[in-house]
């Protein structure tokens, strides 16, 4: 897991590296600038392009000055630096790099007021005005200047973080910072890059290594971790010799209704492909023919007007919710399972029932997994104006209720009962199609049946689901939920 840092912790990592490597801070800045330029040149190899580099007077601006210098040395002849002189203060390393730039042949303009910004001739813009030192929203001259730069409508590369974007913490409801095409950031992605609101600030980001001390970073106390493929490979266990269906657990999926039987089929299909030894689908009678013809491996437990499950302890894992429908019977059924006090995977309509029965939330069995998307989450725990606030609630609720909350999105957040948030990096917009969440539920319950811990089952489920979608999307505009369900077996095999 990659430990993600706040800006304050990043500053500590800078300081630690400077003292212990040891490396002078100006040399660390140079290293950061080189890493930026290396990545930039992979994208932009036409050195005849006009590049405008906007530099503030802090360390972010210092990076910008070094970047301008390096671009000149890499054959970019048309580089022009705009020094944004809207603040008194300047950082010592900015001052050193300004001196170096003054001694070079790089063109430079000083912008003392917004109206000085005229006739910018640029094909590309590098934004190094403010970085992770941002301490309040842009206002006054800074806001006006950034507005002008955005109006130029050029491709913008931001250094470390787009000017005006908070690297972590609650984001304002309106964004008035730089709109970057790409942000090349140092050492770690910014926590807020994983929130959907970040799309207003940067279309994409790339992380470059600048040689900060990794041991120090990994040991920092953090709420946020980024899941890596290596973590998944460590958790996954191969199928054992002499094993049999009983070795891999029996999963029960309570799902489906007259018009939403597909959800039950998709969850069950995913459960089979993610390796449960036995899968039973608890569905209405009307779905039995469909189940038996499309998924003959799955057993059926008819559900019409059923308000409890006989002998729930015979299943190693139980999921409830996909396409379930909201009815008095389903509410009774959910309540009886909650009262039974064995962990559950709760999705879709079962979450919607919970939202109406807040009294049941407090009774949720420990180690249960909730898998809401944003709307289901807000129905459960109240409206949230921003994703940061939603994540804080998810973190608190997971801890308070001793459950795992899988808050789904492009990047899904797996919130543990210890109050940690694990960010899943796999998945893509080709997966934005109905039924995809049903498949995720099926995969997670399959991992639970195979006796992975609650947290590991949630983490594995999200990663495998997204990876299957990524593998499929390599040559597809859109991927369907059933394709993801089938592909998950291949995704797991590839990782073991």
* Residue tagged 């059926």 (tokens): 300
Size of the site for ligand ADP (CB under 6 A): 18
- Known binding residue 456? Answer is no
Residue 136 contacts by C-beta under 8 Å, 6 or more apart in sequence?
none
Residue 30 token pair = 């140079």
Q: Starting at the edge strand that comes first in sequence, how are the strands of the sheet with 250-254 ordered?
A: 2-3, 224-226, 421-424, 412-415, 404-407, 369-370, 345-346, 317-320, 250-254, 278-283, 299-302
Nearer CB in complex with ligand ADP: 76/205? 205
Q: Where are the alpha helices (DSSP H) in 197-345?
A: 214-219, 229-235, 261-273, 288-294, 328-340
Least distance in Å: CB of 189 to ligand NAX? 13
Q: Which of 144, 410, 489, 490 binds ligand ADP (CB under 6 A)?
A: 410
Q: Where are the alpha helices (DSSP H) in 341-474?
A: 348-356, 358-361, 374-381, 387-401, 436-449, 454-473
- Known binding residue 163? Answer is yes
The interface partner of residue 136, options being ligand ADP, ligand NAX, none and the CB cut-off 5 to 8 Å by kind, is: ligand NAX
Least distance in Å: CB of 462 to ligand ADP? 7
Q: Do the beta carbons of residue 129 and residue 153 sit within 8 Å?
A: no
Task: Mark the segment that binds ligand NAX (CB under 6 A) among 102-110, 126-134, 320-328, 379-387.
Answer: 126-134
Contact between 354 and ligand ADP (CB under 6 A)? no
Task: Cis check for the bond before 22: say yes or no (omega within 30 of 0).
Answer: yes
Q: Which of 437, 445, 446, 485 binds ligand ADP (CB under 6 A)?
A: 437
Q: Which of 74, 78, 392, 428 binds ligand ADP (CB under 6 A)?
A: 428
Least distance in Å: CB of 376 to ligand ADP? 7
Nearer CB in complex with ligand NAX: 159/436? 159
Q: How far is CA 37 from the centre of its chain?
A: 26
For 16-47, give the DSSP string.
Answer: HHHHHTT--HHHHHHHHHHHHHHHHHHH---T
Nearer CB in complex with ligand ADP: 94/463? 463
- Known binding residue 137? Answer is yes
Least distance in Å: CB of 348 to ligand ADP? 6
**Cross-strand partners of 280:** 252, 299
Q: Which of 250, 408, 467, 487 binds ligand ADP (CB under 6 A)?
A: 408
- Known binding residue 422? Answer is no
Contact between 132 and ligand NAX (CB under 6 A)? yes
Phi first, then psi: give them for residue 187, nearest 5 degrees: 70, -45
Q: Which of 3, 9, 59, 202 binds ligand NAX (CB under 6 A)?
A: 59
**Cross-strand partners of 404:** 369
Can you list the positions of beta strands (E) in 69-208?
A: 79-84, 107-111, 124-128, 155-159, 180-186, 202-208
Contact between 391 and ligand ADP (CB under 6 A)? no
Contact between 440 and ligand ADP (CB under 6 A)? yes
Sign of the Cα torsion 105, 111, 116, 117 reads positive
Q: In 3D, which of 112, 22, 98 has the Cα closest to residue 59?
A: 98
Contact between 196 and ligand ADP (CB under 6 A)? no
Q: Do the beta carbons of residue 159 and residue 64 sit within 8 Å?
A: yes
Nearer CB in complex with ligand NAX: 53/271? 53
Contact between 138 and ligand NAX (CB under 6 A)? yes
Residue 33 token pair = 């600038």
The Cα–Cα gap between 171 and 71 comes to 33
Contact between 58 and ligand NAX (CB under 6 A)? yes
Site string (160-199) toward ligand NAX, x via CB under 6 A: xx------------------------x-------------
Task: Mark the segment that binds ligand ADP (CB under 6 A) among 48-56, 84-92, 330-338, 402-410.
Answer: 402-410
Report the Cα–Cα distance between both ends of the chain, in Å, rounded. 18
The Cα–Cα gap between 111 and 129 comes to 12
Contact between 461 and ligand ADP (CB under 6 A)? no
Contact between 134 and ligand NAX (CB under 6 A)? yes
Q: Which of 4, 13, 29, 444 binds ligand NAX (CB under 6 A)?
A: 29
* Three-class SS state of 394: helix
The interface partner of residue 432, options being ligand NAX, ligand ADP, none and the CB cut-off 5 to 8 Å by kind, is: ligand ADP
Contact between 431 and ligand ADP (CB under 6 A)? yes
- Pick out residues in 66-125 that bind ligand NAX (CB under 6 A): 87, 89, 91
Least distance in Å: CB of 126 to ligand ADP? 29
Q: How far is CA 368 from the centre of its chain?
A: 22
Binding-site sequence positions for K(+)? 60, 127, 163
Which residues here bind ligand NAX, judged by CB under 6 A?
Answer: 14, 25, 28-29, 32, 56, 58-61, 63, 87, 89, 91, 130-136, 138, 142, 159-161, 186, 210
Binding positions for (6S)-NADPHX are 59-63, 131-137, 142, 160, 263, 323, 373, 438
Residues engaged in binding ligand ADP (CB under 6 A)? 348, 373, 408-410, 412, 427-429, 431-432, 434-438, 440, 465
């Amino acid at each position: 897991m990659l430990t993600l840092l706040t800006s304050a912790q990043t500053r500590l990592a800078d300081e630690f590296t400077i003292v212990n490597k040891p490396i002078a801070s100006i040399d660390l800045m140079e290293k950061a600038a080189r890493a930026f330029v290396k990545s930039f040149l992979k994208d932009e190899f036409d050195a005849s392009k006009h590049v405008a580099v906007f530099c503030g007077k802090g360390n972010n601006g210092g990076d910008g000055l070094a970047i301008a210098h390096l671009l000149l040395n890499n054959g970019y002849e048309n580089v022009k630096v705009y020094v944004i002189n809207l603040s008194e203060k300047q950082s010592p390393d900015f001052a050193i790099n300004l001196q170096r730039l003054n001694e070079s042949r790089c063109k430079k303009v000083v912008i003392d007021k917004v109206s000085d910004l005229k006739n910018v001739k640029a094909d590309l813009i590098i934004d190094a005005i403010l970085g992770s030192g941002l301490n309040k929203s842009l206002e006054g001259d800074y806001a006006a200047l950034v507005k002008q730069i955005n109006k130029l409508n050029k491709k913008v590369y931001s250094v470390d973080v787009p000017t005006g974007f908070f690297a972590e913490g609650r984001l304002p409801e309106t964004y008035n910072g730089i709109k970057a095409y790409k942000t090349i950031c140092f050492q770690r992605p910014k926590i807020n890059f994983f929130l959907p609101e970040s799309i207003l600030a940067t279309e994409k980001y790339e992380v470059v290594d600048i040689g900060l001390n990794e041991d120090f970073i990994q040991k920092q106390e953090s709420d946020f971790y980024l899941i890596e493929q290596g973590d998944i490979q460590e958790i996954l266990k191969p199928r054992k010799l002499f094993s049999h269906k009983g070795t891999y657990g029996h999963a029960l999926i309570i799902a489906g209704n007259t018009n939403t039987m597909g959800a039950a089929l998709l969850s069950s299909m995913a459960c089979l492909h993610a390796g449960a030894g036995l899968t039973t689908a608890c569905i209405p009678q009307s779905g039995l023919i469909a189940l038996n013809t499309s998924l003959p491996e799955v057993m059926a437990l008819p559900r019409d007007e059923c308000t409890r499950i006989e002998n729930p302890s015979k299943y190693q894992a139980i999921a409830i919710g996909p396409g379930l429908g909201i009815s008095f019977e389903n509410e009774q059924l959910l309540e009886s399972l909650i009262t039974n006090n064995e962990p559950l995977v709760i999705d879709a309509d079962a979450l919607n029932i919970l939202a109406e029965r807040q009294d049941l939330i407090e009774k949720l069995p420990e180690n249960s997994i909730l898998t809401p998307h944003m709307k289901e989450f807000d129905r459960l725990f109240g409206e949230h104006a921003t994703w940061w606030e939603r994540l804080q609630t998810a973190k608190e609720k997971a801890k308070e209720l001793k459950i795992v909350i899988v808050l789904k999105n492009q990047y899904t957040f797996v919130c543990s009962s210890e109050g940690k948030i694990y960010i899943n990096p796999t998945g893509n917009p080709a997966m934005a199609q109905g039924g995809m969440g049903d498949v995720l539920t099926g995969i997670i319950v399959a991992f639970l049946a195979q006796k992975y811990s609650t947290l590991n089952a949630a983490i594995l489920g999200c990663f495998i689901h997204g990876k299957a979608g990524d593998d499929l999307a390599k040559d597809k505009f859109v991927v369907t939920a059933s394709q993801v369900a089938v592909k998950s077996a291949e995704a797991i095999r590839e990782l073991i």
